[in-house]
Amino acid sequence: MTNKPLSPHISASPQDFASTVLMPGDPLRSKMIAEKFLTNAKLVNNVRGVQGYTGSYLGKRVSVMGSGMGMPSIGIYSFELFNFSEVSSIIRVGSAGAIDPDLELFDIVLGQGACTDSNYFNSFGIHGSFAPIADYGLLSQAVAQCESRNYRYRVGNLLSSDVFYQAGGVEVTLKWREVGVLAVEMEAAALYMNAAAAGKKALAICTISDLLEQKKEISSQERETSFLQMIEVAMNIAED
């Protein structure tokens, strides 16, 4: 492979990335993850402030880079990493709002699948609906990590929504609990679709930051500290 940058959006060369990339939505959180978890972390991308780092975690090479908010944004970055480099796995680490009433703040949700209200799949030119799912190997390892650490977690469907502020209010989103959806976020479905099309692996690990029905949320400071559990899980299942 050459030293040519991946794309206009990623200035790093293909070999700058490890096999596994963790993707938080917030580019600044990628900096925090690199500082707290990686040794010898090197900034490999900063185009448009989307910070990407590669370093070492317990002897294995791991990368972390922000995805931005929403399916169009993670759609671009995950497509380019899956198709223009040797990245084989992307693990989304982000926040989610609880739809299931049994979820509590700080719980971890492992996205076995991702429902969506988006038209993202139409770009694939395939007639019909597609059920975006996680890689089973990553999912099963994440379950084992949560079990061994006694973390509160659930496995099930996420809702990847194109809309943050629903015109019909939170009740529109809560309707998804009628079909067993656990929580809402904005990226997993596009990530899973891109992974499937590229023959690669993906998993979304989310921490509950909001209880939609109760209108409760964790503070920005709590987000930084409470998210460390899911990042630890993701780091430990990253493939070298």
| 203 pLDDT higher than 90 | yes
* pLDDT > 70 fraction of the chain, expressed in percent and rounded: 97
Secondary structure, 3-state, 194-240? HHHHHCCEEEEEEEEEEECCCCEECCHHHHHHHCHHHHHHHHHHCCC
* pLDDT > 90 fraction of the chain, expressed in percent and rounded: 75
> Phi and psi dihedrals of 226, rounded to 5?
-70, -25
4-49: pLDDT as tens digits: 776 777 777 788 899 999 999 988 899 999 999 999 999 988 878 7
The catalytic residues are 210
> Would you state the pLDDT for residue 1?
43
Query: Which one is the CATH code of 14-237: 3.30.70.140, 1.10.132.20, 3.40.50.1580, 3.40.50.300?
Result: 3.40.50.1580
Q: Is 44 helix (H, G, I), strand (E, B) or coil?
A: strand
Residues in CB range of 225: below 8 A, 6 or more apart: none
Which tops the pLDDT comparison, 226 or 218? 218
Q: How confident is the model at residue 224 (pLDDT cuts 50, 70, 90)?
A: low
> Would you state the pLDDT for residue 15?
87
Residues in CB range of 123: below 8 A, 6 or more apart: none
Report, as an integer, the average pLDDT of 207-224.
Answer: 86
105-163: pLDDT as tens digits: 999 999 999 999 999 899 989 999 999 999 999 999 999 999 999 999 999 999 999 98
- Dihedral sign for Cα atoms in the order 36, 14, 22, 184: positive
Q: How confident is the model at residue 180 (pLDDT cuts 50, 70, 90)?
A: very high
**Residue 16 backbone class (left: φ over 0; alpha: ψ -120 to 50; beta: rest):** alpha
| 197 pLDDT higher than 70 | yes
| 70 pLDDT higher than 50 | yes
**Distance of alpha carbon 133 from its chain centroid, rounded?**
13
Q: Is 191 helix (H, G, I), strand (E, B) or coil?
A: helix
> Phi and psi dihedrals of 141, rounded to 5?
-65, -40
Q: pTM of the prediction?
A: 0.94
E strand or H helix at 111: strand 108-116
Neighbours of 85 (CB within 10 A): 22
For residues 184 and 158, is the Cβ–Cβ distance under 8 A?
yes
For residues 34 and 150, is the Cβ–Cβ distance under 8 A?
no
| 225 pLDDT higher than 70 | no
What are 216's two structure tokens?
Answer: 């409760």
pLDDT mean across residues, the chain: 92
> Phi and psi dihedrals of 189, rounded to 5?
-60, -45
Q: Is 101 helix (H, G, I), strand (E, B) or coil?
A: coil
